[in-house]
Amino acid sequence: MKKLLALLSGALLTTTSFAQQAAVPPATPQYRPAYHFTPTAHWMNDPNGMVYYQGTYHLFFQYYPQGMVWGPMHWGHATSPDMVRWQEQPIALAPDSLGYIFSGSAVVDADNTAGFGKNALVAIFTHHSPEEEKKGQNKHQYQSLAYSLDAGKTWTKYAGNPVLPNPGIVDFRDPKVSWNEPAKQWVMTLATKDRITFYSSPNLKEWTKLSEFGEKLGAHGGVWECPDLFPLMLNGKTYWVLIVNLNPGGPNGGSATQYFVGQFDGKTFTPLNANTKWADYGPDEYAGVTWNNTGNRRLFLGWMSNWEYANQVPTSPWRSATTIPRELGLRQVGSEIYLTSQPVSELRTLAGKATTLQNITVKAPTDLTARLNSTTDKHRLTLSTKQLNDFELVLGNVAGEELIVGYDKAAKQYFIDRSKAGKNNFSPKFTGRATAPRLSTAAGTELTLYLDAASVELFADQGLTVMTSIFFASKPLTSIKLRSAQGSTWQQLSNTPLVAKPASKAPTLGQR
């Protein structure tokens, strides 16, 4: 999700001019991930409409099928039984007389509240009209509906669109809708420029404003986008989490996902405090939201890029991938309650034979490539220690390029340094070193890294600190070295190749 003004230096381009683009660059199969979703070709950004229905995970996404940079937005579509192996489907929603198809969500209308049919899939999305935008009245974004009666194969746009007109707010978009059982109504969480506005509806067609949140809370380095609101349990108590994606203004520059923990009474969201928290501190997780209709599991997926350079990354014939899916939880550290993110258990179906080392002490650079049987750039690394000290995990290749993941004990920061990890001259904003605070107060830790051709995702302290970063090495990063100026001891290091296997059948979940 991104405005034309921000992406294209104020130029309001037509669909025709978007299509008049440079020839597709030479293909870069070395950068294509093995187990992250990416379209076969063309541009992708925000995940949209994520819903679980009749044993299938549906992922819709912002998509431009005529080029490799942002253009008039469609909803692309992919399906999976397990969130691991994806099958790309035909485009679900295309631009029409009301405008481009911007971000939104999808629900299962179990009780036929909208009148489209019992258990209909209903998409709630933002229409963006470039013609209305030219008028300068700030009414060019509004919310609309589409529905599917064949499990998402085909979609019909509601004849009464838009269902929520714009009151005159320049950024009025990205509806995330869910059923609020205590209030017996649908609740829409909508990004409205520099805050979130909540609406309610009995039938998805008629919407009433409930409240606003966040005008003077949280990070405000850029526009608020792609919100999400959901409950999570901690120690037998229900809390509500409000996700707000922000661009720019992230902790390492550009796009990022912030969140608030608090309470929602069906009308108003009240945070526990005003502290700014981030779901992912790395430079390359954005527009992250959660699946609807997944029972007690809260499953999260983000766009693995950054608006600072998303249009310039050197991949072809596609641009962008999603993060791995993550299961969310809550954890208390001191007086603060934090959101945690852990790789979903379904990723274990990819695991090949693990190689594990016990009780490794390092100080000088130690090459562990052979001992860890490292031969691929698509693998999972886990490291555990009883005492976390300074360290650098160096992932290298035959070209001398290095991706460094480590911890600075004095600064109490994890970091990912991609400054020497390959091609980086495509944008001056593709900076090298990203940092994240360590939130845990424990002496030891367990770290998990997922690597997939051109990305790394770090989960530290059981998901309290998470970082995502893309990079573009010229050759696979298959060597593994450890170094620690002060010395570090690891009780266990494990390297697991991640290989393709037949997808498992997804469990049957209750529907709403």
Q: Please state the rounded mean pLDDT for residues 103-115.
A: 98
Q: Please state the rounded mean pLDDT for residues 42-52.
A: 98
Identify whether the C-beta of residue 300 lies closer than 8 Å to the C-beta of residue 285: no
Confidence (pLDDT) at 24: 86
Contacts of 59 (CB under 8 A, 6+ apart): 37, 47, 49, 50, 77, 78, 79, 80, 86, 301, 322
DSSP 351: B
The CA radius of gyration of the chain, in Å to the nearest whole number, is 22
Q: Please state the rounded mean pLDDT for residues 75-89.
A: 97
Q: Please state the rounded mean pLDDT for residues 416-425.
A: 98
Confidence (pLDDT) at 499: 87
Which one is catalytic: 46, 280, 284, 461? 46
pLDDT in tens, 119-128: 999 999 999 9
What is the pTM (predicted TM-score) of this model? 0.94
Q: Please state the rounded mean pLDDT for residues 189-197.
A: 98
**Domains in the chain, ordered, with CATH?**
4-18+43-343 (2.115.10.20), 351-497 (2.60.120.560)
Contacts of 60 (CB under 8 A, 6+ apart): 47, 48, 49, 50, 75, 76, 77, 78, 92, 93, 106, 123
> At residue 6, does pLDDT exceed 70?
no
> At residue 22, does pLDDT exceed 80?
no
pLDDT in tens, 352-364: 999 999 999 999 9
Phi then psi for residue 171, to 5 deg, are -115, 105
Least confident of 10-19, 211-220, 238-247, 297-306: 10-19
Confidence (pLDDT) at 21: 54
Instruction: Round the average pLDDT of the chain to a whole number and report it.
Output: 93
Only one residue has tokens 């697991």, namely 496
Any catalytic annotation for residue 82?
A: no
Phi then psi for residue 483, to 5 deg, are -145, 150
Q: For residue 194, is it left (φ>0), alpha (ψ between -120 and 50) or beta? A: alpha
> At residue 19, does pLDDT exceed 90?
no
Tokens representing 59 are 């992922």
Residue bearing the bigger pLDDT, 13 or 483: 483
Q: Would you call the peptide bond into 248 cis, given omega within 30 degrees of 0 as the criterion?
A: yes
Only one residue has tokens 């690394």, namely 381
> At residue 263, does pLDDT exceed 60?
yes
> At residue 505, does pLDDT exceed 70?
no
